[in-house]
Each structure stands twice: as C-alpha cells, then as structure tokens.
Amino acid sequence: VQEKMARSISYVTSSQLLSLHRRPNLAIVDVRDDERSYDGHIAGSLHFASDAFSERIPNLIQAVKGKDTLVFHCALSQVRGPKCARRLADYLAGLKEDSGIQNIMVLERGYNGWEASGRPMLGRASIALFLGTLGKIYRLFGWEYRKPERAPPACPIKPSANKTMNKVSPYSIYVPVIVPFMIQWPCQCLILVVNYYFKLRLAIKELDALLVRAS
C-alpha cells in the first residue's frame, strides 16, 4: 500500500514547504545540474543532479532513510524536477521491500520561485560579496561593471576610453580587458575548487558507508 502511495506525485508551494522543511521526516532533493554551484540552494537540500539521477536512485534511497516525504525541485520544476520525481516513483513501484517513502512531491516554480519569494537559501552570500568587491574594483579604475544574469560572466566590463586629441589611449583599451580576467577568473576557479572539494568529501563518505555495509 505504501509503495502505491509513492507513485502518486503532488505539488507543494514555497509557503507550504517553508513550514514543513524543518521536519525530520522530510527531505528536499535538488536535481539541478551545475547551476546549483553558483545560484545557491535551499538549506539542507540533497543534491542529485538530473543527468545521472537514474543511476543514483539507490544512493538517494540510502540518503533519505528514516524519511517518508521527498520534495523534488529543479530551477523551475517544469521538466527535470517532475521527471526525476516520476523516475523515483517508478523505481519504488518495482521494489519488493518497503522503502519507507510514502509521499513524493514537487516544489511549485522550483528554486527560482523559492528565491523570488524571499525564502532562506545558502550559497549566494559569497557570490554577492565577490560581485560587490569586483564592482568596487571596477569603479576604482573608472570602469563600468555590468552584473551578469547568470554566472560565470564572460568579461562584464565596458571600458571608458580616454580620448585625447581624437586618439584613444592604449591603456584605456587593454588594461580594462586584461586586469578583470586576472582578478575575476582566479576567484571563480577558487569557488569551483571549493565546491568540488566538498562534493569529493561527500562521495568519499558515501563510499565509506558502502564499504562498511559490504563488510
């Protein structure tokens, strides 16, 4: 009976999830891919990227042991979120043993809707600090910083050329282009390295758990 209940997928609003997501029996599953690294995420959510979700369903079931309600989301919860929720429901329907998962839900409007409604999230503070600092550096040199719609930006500057006697100074052309790359890309690489470091730690922890169970 419980597995039949798991095949039914319902939707939950951001307001409803806010009042529920601290409950110990609920897990939030983020199936976004790389954008989670720079768009931030819901506090306490588990990351199971959609591109490898089917292969990692057994890992997900192990990660949510003791929880009976799973809430899936992607950026907008229009394609990836509902699709992964359905894949899990189909997988559970074929299991002989009871997984303990009784409710599978999808967050309406996804992470973007959660963020737009002012709900708590993690990961944006460091990005905001980085962009703010970069903007100050640009203004210090008299450059214009255009905040990108999505990270990582390409070369978000518009140099203000100094024209003297109808001639453009080489400094005003090359320095505003080269220096931002020297400042910006190492910082972005550092953010990616830290992110993959924590992913590696999580993978090692999962591997250790598998080895313990196997022994």
Exposure string of 117-156, with b = 16+ CB inside 10 Å and e = fewer, is eebebebeeebeebbeebbeebeeeebebeeeeeeebeeb
Q: What is residue 153's DSSP assignment? A: P
**Rounded-to-integer distance, Cα 5 and Cα 78, Å:** 22
Distance from first CA to last CA of the chain, Å, rounded? 33
189 is catalytic: no
CA distances from 27 to 40, 71, 73, 113 (A): 17, 6, 11, 18
CB of 35 closer than 8 Å to CB of 75 = yes
Check 74, 84, 155, 187 and give the catalytic one: 74
Residue type, 173: I
H helix or E strand, kind and range, residue 26: strand 26-30
Q: Which residues are catalytic?
A: 74
